[in-house]
Amino acid sequence: MSYIKLYKEVSLKSNIGNVAIAEPESEESRMSKSIYSYVRDQWKVPSNNLKALQKERLVSYRREDASTKIQRPTRLDRARSLGYKAKQGYVLVRTRIRRGGMRKHAITSGRRAKRAGISKITVGKNLQMIAEERTSKKYPNLEILNSYWVAEDGRYKWYEVILVDPNHPVILSDSKINWICNRAHKGRVHRGLTSAGKKSRGLMNKGKGAEKLRPSKRKHMVKHKQSRTPHPPKKT
C-alpha cells in the first residue's frame, strides 16, 4: 500500500483532514516521503489546506474549557517530533490562551499620558510558554515535555501540551524519556527549560546581538552591576 492511500485512510479514521492530496509526480519521490511528511505539508498553510476543517474545529474549541484533556494529537507529525508516544504515561491537553497585551487599567492619578503605561505593554514571556505554565499548574503531578500550536482566532490561541507522568512505571522503564523522572527536571516549565521557554529567553539566537542572553539576562545584569561597583578605598 502506498503512503498516499495510507494517509487518506488515516485521515478519514482520525479526522486529521478531509483534504484532497496531490500525488507526487514520480514513484521515487512518492517512496521517499513518509506519512508524516504529507501531514506536515497540510499544516504549513492551514488557512488554505485545512480551512473548512479548522473552522469546524474552532466552533468546538470555543465551547471547551480553558484546559481540556484529549485522547490523540491533532497534529500527529508535530507531536511525534516533540517526543510524544502513544503509550501509557503520556497525556495530551489542549489549552486556550487569550491573545494580546496585558490590558492594564487606566490610571486615575495625575500623570502625563506618556507615563500612563497602558498601551504597548506586553508580557516578557510568549503566549505558548504561558499556556504551558497554566497547564502545569492544573496538572501538578505531571511534567511538561513540549507543546505546539493548533489553532487561533481573533481572540484566543490554542496549544496542545504534551505532559509526562514521571512516576509511571512505563516511563521509568523507557530509556529515551526516563531522564524527565530525575528531580533535576522537576518544574522545568517554570524555569524556561522547554522549547517555548528557551525561545522566549532568546536562547535560540547565537552570535551578534545575543551577547547578553547567556547564561541568562538576570545573571548578566547582576554581573554587570558588580563590575561597575566601585571598590572601597584601601586602608593605609
pLDDT of residue 16: 44
Q: Which of 168, 184, 200 is the last residue of a domain?
A: 184
Q: Provide CB contacts within 8 A for 155, sequence distance 6+.
A: 98, 99
- Kindly tell me if the per-residue pLDDT of 141 is higher than 90: yes
pLDDT of residue 27: 59
What would the mean pLDDT of 56-76 be, rounded to a whole number? Answer: 95
* 34 and 137 fall within a common domain: no
* 156 and 75 fall within a common domain: yes
- Kindly tell me if the per-residue pLDDT of 20 is higher than 90: no
- pLDDT category of residue 14 using cuts at 50, 70 and 90: very low
CB 156 within 8 A of CB 97: yes
Give the number of domains in the chain: 2
Full residue range of the structural domain in which residue 178 is found: 64-105+118-184
- Kindly tell me if the per-residue pLDDT of 127 is higher than 50: yes
* 145 and 55 fall within a common domain: no
Least confident of 16-25, 89-98, 192-201, 212-221: 16-25
Round to whole Å and give the CA distance between 57 and 74. Answer: 10
User: Does residue 32 sit within a domain?
Assistant: yes
User: Does residue 208 sit within a domain?
Assistant: no
pLDDT of residue 224: 78
* 14 and 68 fall within a common domain: no
- Kindly tell me if the per-residue pLDDT of 44 is higher than 80: yes
From residue 37, how far is each of 22, 41, 108, 145, 162 by CA, in Å? Answer: 13, 6, 55, 23, 21
What would the mean pLDDT of 162-173 be, rounded to a whole number? Answer: 96
Least confident of 19-23, 83-87, 201-205: 19-23
How many other C-beta atoms lie within 10 A of the C-beta of residue 36? 16
